Amino acid sequence: MVLPAVTNPADTPGHAFRMGARVLCPLARTLTRFDHHGGENLPGPGPVLIVSNHVSNYDPVVLGAFLIAHGRWPHWLAKRELFSVPIVGWWASATGQIPVDRKGPNPAKALDYAKAALDKGMTVVMYPEGTITADPLHWPMTGRTGAARLALETGVPVIPIGQWGPQEVMGYKKMTFPKLWPRKTMKLYCGTEVELSDLHGCEDFAAAREATNRIMDAIDAQVARARDELPPPDRYDIRKGTRVPK
């Protein structure tokens, strides 16, 4: 596989990243169909924060292939436990993925690492829900404020992405063996930048919550395109175990 030109020279991938992409990207395209849209909405050189819904343990492969195909090399915030998995953990470390230690004394420290990556001009990917959706309808849940706080502090472009289809390969929150036959279609829609300029520099909780709501609404809009249906008027709150108003 000939890898695309790097959109952002500051984020030139290392050997481990290139080798992984040469294997995983063609394999994913062979085993599933890609129905991807909106690559033109990704900004040119410079840092960017990608925010997406999370429906499956397989969707990072689909999202990663999309970003790499457009010259962006993704750096995810990932659970620290992933870094202890043989081979996978080595690759995550070697490619500059960002560990999140939720059980540690300061889980928010991951945002400092993410900010450092953005300061270097990298592409950072976050799932604002914090986990694979537990919504019985499988729509995005209520968002945590981490992505919003990072966006307001740095002022980088925030690009929303909606995915639908990866859950057919690996079902939602269950870590299942991939179901690859019959061949599934991975639908992905990339939207335009979320408008947050009026909130940049604000550090209060109200601003972070407002920015989070805008981010989740933008993701909802892209998921609606991928699912070809309207999102529900409310949103599932995993902490309350019920739906709440948006």
Structure tokens at 16: 């481990």
Dist. CA 188–CA 23, nearest whole Å: 21
Q: Could you tell me what percent of the chain has a pLDDT over 70?
A: 85
Residue-level pLDDT at 153: 95
Dist. CA 60–CA 65, nearest whole Å: 8
Q: Count CB atoms within 10 A of the CB of residue 62.
A: 25
Residue-level pLDDT at 189: 98
136 preceded by a cis bond (ω within 30 of 0): no
Over residues 188-240, the pLDDT tens digits come to: 999 999 999 999 988 899 999 999 999 999 999 999 999 999 999 999 999 99
Over residues 27-75, the pLDDT tens digits come to: 889 999 999 999 999 998 899 999 999 999 899 999 999 999 998 999 9
Least confident span in 114-123, 140-149, 167-176, 195-204: 167-176
Q: Could you tell me what percent of the chain has a pLDDT over 90?
A: 64
Mean pLDDT value across the chain: 88
SS3 of residue 112 by DSSP: helix
| Cα separations in angstroms, 204 against 92, 130, 155, 157 | 33, 21, 15, 20
Spell out the SS3 assignment of 16-38. HHHHHHHHHHHHHHHHCEEEEEC
Q: What are phi and psi of 52, to 5 degrees?
A: -145, 160
